[in-house]
Amino acid sequence: MDKAVIFGGGNIGRGFIGQLFSESGYEVVFVDVDAELVAALNRDHKYTLEIVSNEGKKALTIGPVSAVDGKDKAAIAAVVAEAKVGATAVGANALKYIVGNMAAGIELRAKQGGAPLNFIICENLHGAAGIVRGMVENVIAPEAKDYLAKSIGFVNTVIGRMVPVPTPEMRAQDVSLVRVEAYKELPVDKKGFVGEIPQVCAMTAYDDFEVFTARKLYVHNCGHALMSYAAFQRGYTYGYEAMADDEIRAFMLAGLRESVAGISAECHADRDWLNAHVDDLLGRFTNKMLGDKVFRLGRDPKRKLAAEDRLTGAALLALKAGIQPRHLAWGMALALMFNPADDPSAVELQQAIAAKGAKAALCEVTGLAADHPLVALVMEAYEALQKNPKALLK
């Protein structure tokens, strides 16, 4: 049986890519530093994936699988050298810890004259494939650089499936158990592949991939941000609770319609296709069984307010298209008020607001000039929210 290697056995690794590779006929080998998880996967050679919805749940057994300790460089290199397809799903901040092992595997594969290998880069990072290629180039042995350039593909994708972090109760029940929604689509950038594109269940390669990146960031992620920051001010714990609040739902929908207008103009994308995705998300966000928390959806507001990220980026696209992004600006103002004490990014943002004022802090995290029209819209919303934090733009 051909092998697939996945760097990262966490939420997306087990909860999505592992399932797709397994259903495509591969033996899946995870590389992970979680010793308890590695031991369980090597003991059982399978794991349980629960697909949950408000109608109930369905348990799938994913296998055969195994795992390699993320510190075992030789074992990782051997797996990379023989794999037919690969992926990363470690989180953007952890990429620096895996590229050395990826490079070692590619070096061994080059020595053995191995066939081309493609890594699907499942990281929430714009241009992730190019970034990972660059990181590997920086550490790989000089004699393997030509093989890397000609025989190794790094492929951008966007992950639409929602996979919350397993709860302590789930982990106590079964360390490898993962709970997911049913959504099962994997769009990938056709340009990233080297050699023959591997056959992977639910994967479709597109020539014009940027629209999928924009849709994920400025619709899916933007919707979560709009909903979570409004929900935080109203004291909700779970996303599905917020979706039952008609005012939050209407506010989020209005913001996403602004975003859709911007994406459609920028990417020449069909507005009906984008709006259909919005409508689908309105249903998916109500999934009680996922137990997705407002805190998880809203954490790290500094990153989520960055110039090209889900709120500011969407608002700038709308402005460029001649749309006044009033609901998106209101969402940005709500992000400035997101202040849970256990989110370091939120704490830093509140400290900046206290020290410099909200406008200066906003300009600092977004990179916008103080006289930018979007800054004026956000500050107008922020001032209104200071009077009534639970208010929402109609």
**This prediction's pTM:** 0.91
What integer pLDDT is reported at residue 125 of this predicted model?
84
Q: Structural domain of residue 342, as residue ranges?
A: 211-387
Tell whether the model's pLDDT for residue 135 goes beyond 90. yes
Q: Are 375 and 363 in contact (CB under 8 A)?
A: yes
Return the pLDDT at 165.
86
Domain membership flag for residue 225: yes
The average pLDDT across 290-305 equals 96
In DSSP terms, which residues pair with 66 in a beta bridge? 29
For range 289-293, the mean pLDDT: 93
- Least Cα distance to 311 among 344, 293, 336, 284 occurs for 336
Model pLDDT, residue 124: 85
Buried b (16+ CB within 10 A) or exposed e, 107-146: bbbbeeebeebbbbbbbeeeebbebbbebbeeebeeebee
pLDDT in tens, 339-367: 999 999 999 999 999 999 999 999 999 99
Q: For residue 107, is it within any domain? A: yes
Query: Is 93 within a domain?
Result: yes
Instruction: Examine the domain organization and report whether 123 and 224 are in the same domain.
Output: no
Strand partners, 65: 28
Whether residue 160 is contained in a domain is answered as yes
Mean pLDDT across the chain? 97
263 pLDDT more than 90: yes
What pairing do the DSSP bridges indicate for beta strands 27-32 and 47-53?
A: unpaired
Average pLDDT over residues 67-94: 97
pLDDT score recorded for residue 181: 97
pLDDT at 73: 97
Domain boundary among 207, 238, 261: 207
pLDDT digits (tens, 9 = 90+) for 181-211: 999 999 999 999 999 999 999 999 999 999 9
- 394 falls within a domain: no
β-partners of residue 57 are 52
* 95-131 pLDDT per residue, tens: 999 999 999 999 999 999 999 999 999 998 889 999 9
Specify the pLDDT at position 13: 98
- Whether the pLDDT of residue 327 is over 90: the answer is yes
Question: In the prediction, which pLDDT does 114 show?
Answer: 95
365 part of a folded domain:
yes
Residues 106 and 248 in one domain: no
Both 192 and 234 in one domain: the answer is: no
In this predicted structure, the answer to whether residue 394 has a pLDDT above a threshold of 90 is no
pLDDT in tens, 21-63: 999 999 999 999 999 999 999 999 999 999 999 999 999 999 9
392 located within any domain:
no
> Do residue 68 and residue 202 come from a single domain?
yes
Please determine, for residue 324, whether its predicted confidence score (pLDDT) is greater than 90: yes
* 339 and 192 fall within a common domain: no
Model confidence at 176, pLDDT cuts 50, 70, 90, reads: very high
Q: Are 239 and 176 found together in one domain?
A: no
- Percent pLDDT > 70 in the chain is 100
Torsion-angle region of 128 (φ positive above 0: left; ψ -120 to 50: alpha; else: beta): alpha
Q: Which helix (H) or strand (E) holds 32?
A: strand 27-32
Mean pLDDT of 144-150: 98
Q: Is residue 393, in this structure, part of any structural domain at all? A: no
Same domain, 94 and 79: yes
CATH number, position 303: 1.10.1040.10
Same domain, 260 and 335: yes
Indicate which CATH number applies to the domain containing 54.
Answer: 3.40.50.720
Number of domains in the chain: 2
Q: Please say which residue of 190, 207, 224 terminates a domain.
A: 207
Same domain for 219 and 101: no
313 and 250 part of one domain = yes
Whole-angstrom distance, CA of residue 149 vs CA of residue 25: 28
Indicate the residue among 207, 232, 251 that finishes a domain. 207
For residues 192 and 338, state if they share a domain: no
201 and 252 together in one domain? no
